[in-house]
Structure 1
Amino acid sequence: MRYLAILTVKNEAAFLLDWLAHHRAVGFTDFLVFSNDCSDGTDAMLDRLQDLGQLTHLPNPGPWPRGPQWAALKAAERHPLMATADWVLVLDIDEYVNIHAGDGTLEALRAALPMASAIPLTWRLFGNCGVVRHVDQPVTTQFTRAAPRQMIWPWRAALFKTLFRNDGSYRKLGVHRPRNPDPARLPAQRWFGGSGRELPALYHRGRLFSPLGEDNYTLAQLNHYALGAMDSYVLKCDRGRANREAGAFDLSYWVERNFCAEEDHTIARLTDAAAALRADLRADPVLGALHDSALHWRLARFEALMAHEDYRGLFGRLLMTPPSRPLAPAAARFITDHARRAAERDAETNPDAPED
């Protein structure tokens, strides 16, 4: 069985080895990685990993009408790895697949849901929780406090990325889900959430988030380390967003993701396997040197950004902002009721608008 992960990166060299080692331990067999505008050696590291047979690297230079990630996905649709993949998942460098079924691998998840044609993996937001400076350790061991298992607001806490069977049922890739379904194949679709429950047919055509307020993590989840250390977040704001050509991160992005309500160490079951794979990669003299260089680049870039008032101000606000408090259910439902009514009005006026 071939499992393909598709990734788009810019200036993420310090995290590449950890991310790759973890997802090899999970069971991905193939990696198609696009890079753009790198100044920290990410592209050189990907070239070396390709030389070692660890992944396939494709440069993704702009300009891009909708941002680098959308351009990468269009290129991925035509790549030979798509033709040979049985299952596909589009990921970001701050997303880590965390499977609770069986031995924690993709094969175990597939065995638990043998009838599934698609499995949306719901984000679990892991907060910053007061970590100020980046250290060279896997994010899975540094950040272990997360949003509650059941949240109603913000709805982004229930966003998912879709692991889907690559059987031609969908003709285009999307950031969160496959798109452009083949109408003739839709009746055969069966989507199962991380809860193990089958999802209604509306998920076959659209939908980007799992049922709100439910526990969507029984069999699997997607650990989302969107913030990292505070200095890393400043660099993330400098980098910009992957799925649009221009778009800033700010304190609102931080507040909607900095939840530290519950401990979650479930991903630790793969720590040893991932650490062994990471050590093998780190032992390569070229990769090791590139990794060290990336760490130095991050320090230097942060110092350069702190020479500007905008970034100093952002960093100061991060230091002053406590972890976000989950809303009480009544307050959350008040907001989601208004969001639902707005969505219904939008659907009436523009019924064919894509969700992704």
Structure 2
Amino acid sequence: MTDPARPRITVVTCLRDEGPFVVEWLAHLRALGVDRVLAYSNDCRDGTEALLDALAPAGVVHVSQGDIRDTPGPAPQWRALSEAWDHETCAGADWLLHLDPDEWIALDGPGDLVSLIAEAGSVDAIVMPWRLFGSAGRLTPGTGLTPERFRRAAPVGLAYPALASFVKTLFRRDGPFEGFGIHRPRQGGVPRLVDDTLAPLDEFAAAPSRILLWRGGAAPAGRRVQLNHYSVRSIHEFLVKRGRGLPNHVGKPIDLTYWVERNFNQDECTMIDPQLDAVRAECAALRARPGVSEAEAACRDAHRAALEAVLATEEGAVLCGRLALAGGSVAPDARLGRALVGLRQRASR
């Protein structure tokens, strides 16, 4: 029976050919107290849509956008977020969050998002910063949950590249907001925001266009939440992702530059480890549901075939080798990072 005092949390996501990662990602959200996932799919070829439909009894609401990537109009992710705001799944929620399937919420202290919300108190939103996780030197995917396979990350507070300071935002549906954004909701007023340490973010709240929580290389004390961003995974998984493209900037290539700007393996991060037993239990329960294991296996087969097709081309084979040669990126120290950010800002002006 649902506890009427417990906040209802809905996550909105946009997927294209993400099948091998859906079950574990959904399991981690369920273990954190997320009630519903509103999943928009587009241009899927790997069986993701069948898997999402099989997961409907586990709180997944699937909306297929069809084949829209080459049609006029906004990018698939923006179309999804525009529609999601008035969808009944979001309209009936207390708290909302937009995430991608390569973003995992890691908590230090609170057992779940309900506890985090209670600890934050009378706020409208909790800003959760990215932490970039690298490939851990893996050529092949290996086995296990994504957080088990990739445990090395960028230093906390990485100053450069600036994208390391991107955030996502868990926010109250009845707060001063007018719709979804990719990194933070569109504001109709100035909300009460807190950061990953649950400290007020008044200046950030008053600047609605800001999507970077940039600390110039300083590591925050008392971090309670972060978003583990597994944007590259192994080399083989990255090569398949490259063919899928990005849901927001569909013309932006996923290439060696993308790899170098995200493949940081300098620090071991175990912040999410206490959550993983619950994730494994949820995975087992999800795969026991009718049709789920079969649909997930079909997705894995499709990704293996996609990888074989990529590696059979000269371009794919060469890029595979270059990714291996590139290895892991080295984070600049705080002083150099700030200088590089300043250089980029001056050039853009």
Aligned partner of 1:139: which letter? T
Runs of 4+ aligned structure 1 residues displaced above 6 Å come to none
Quote the Cα distance in structure 2 between the aligned partners of 1:137 and 1:54. 24
- The aligned counterpart of 1:338 is 343
Deviates more, 1:249-258 or 1:283-292: 283-292
When structure 1 is superposed on structure 2, of 283-292 and 319-328 the one drifting more is 283-292
Percentage of pairs with the same residue: 34
Q: Is the 8 A contact 2:127 2:167 kept in 1?
A: yes
- Aligned residues of 1:21 and 1:275 also touching (Cα < 8 A): yes
Counterpart contact for 1:65–1:245, Cα < 8 Å: no
**In the alignment, is residue 240 of structure 1 matched against residue 248 of structure 2?**
no
1:217-236 mapped onto 2 (5 Å cutoff)? 218-236=223-241
Shift of 1:300: 1.0
1:25 aligns with 31
Give the match's secondary structure for 2:39.
strand
Structure 1 residues 232-255: Cα deviation after superposition (integer angstroms, max 9, x where no partner): 100111001011333211111111
1:276 equivalent in alignment to 2:281: yes
User: Which of 47, 53, 60 is residue 41 of structure 1 equivalent to?
Assistant: 47
> For the Cα contact (< 8 Å) 2:136–2:151, is it kept in 1?
no
Distance (whole Å) between structure 2 residues aligned to residue 320 and residue 35 of structure 1 = 34
Deviations 1:175-211 (A, max 9, x none): 10101x22xx42xx21111022211334342210113
**2:276 counterpart SS class:** helix
Rounded Cα–Cα distance in structure 2 between residues aligned with 1:285 and 1:305: 33
Q: What residue is the counterpart of 1:98 in the other structure?
A: 106
- The equivalent of 1:208 in structure 2 is 211
- 1:137 alignment partner, SS class: coil
Residue by residue over 1:85-115, the C-alpha shift from the partner in whole angstroms, topping out at 9 and shown as x without a partner, is 1111100010001121322x11221122102
Partner amino acid, structure 2, of 1:80? E
Shift of 1:214: 3.0
Q: How does 1:53-202 map to 2 (within 5 A)?
A: 53-61=58-66, 62=68, 63=71, 65-103=73-111, 105-179=112-186, 181-182=187-188, 185-186=189-190, 189-202=191-204
Decide which of 233, 244, 249 is 2:254's aligned counterpart: 249
Q: Could you tell me how far apart the structure 2 residues matched to 1:342 and 1:169 are? A: 35
1:306-321 superposed matches below 5 A? 306-321=311-326
Equivalent in the alignment of 2:3: none
Asked if the contact 2:46–2:298 (Cα under 8 Å) also holds between the matched residues in 1, the reply is yes
- Aligned match of 2:295: 290
Q: Which amino acid aligns with 2:100?
A: D
- Taking a change above 3 Å as real, the CA distance of residues 94 and 38 of structure 1, as seen in their structure-2 partners, is same
Cα displacement (A) at 1:301: 0.9
Report the number of matched residues.
337
Q: Which residue of 2 aligns with 1:15?
A: 21
Deviation at 1:340, TM superposition (A): 4.4
The verdict on how the C-alpha distance between 1:64 and 1:191 changes in structure 2, with shifts beyond 3 A counting, is farther
Task: Decide whether the 8 Å contact of 1:191 with 1:199 is kept in 2.
Answer: yes
Letter matched to residue 151 of structure 2: T
- Residues in 1 aligned to 2:333 and 2:58: alpha-carbon distance in whole angstroms: 49
When structure 1 is superposed on structure 2, of 278-287 and 234-243 the one drifting more is 278-287
3-state SS of 1:223 partner: strand
State the alpha-carbon separation in 2 of the partners of residues 296 and 171 from structure 1.
41
- Does the CA contact (< 8 Å) of 2:58 and 2:286 recur in 1? no
Q: Cα gap change, 1:242/1:64 in structure 2, threshold over 3 Å: closer, same or farther?
A: farther
- With the length of structure 1 as denominator, give the TM-score of the two structures: 0.91
Offset, 1:330: 2.3
| Shift of residue 285, structure 1, vs aligned partner | 4.4
Paired letter, 2:198: G
What amino acid does structure 2 have at the position aligned with 1:69? Q
Q: String of CA shifts for 1:26-73, please: whole Å, max 9, x gaps.
A: 1111110011111111000111111x2421000012135231111110
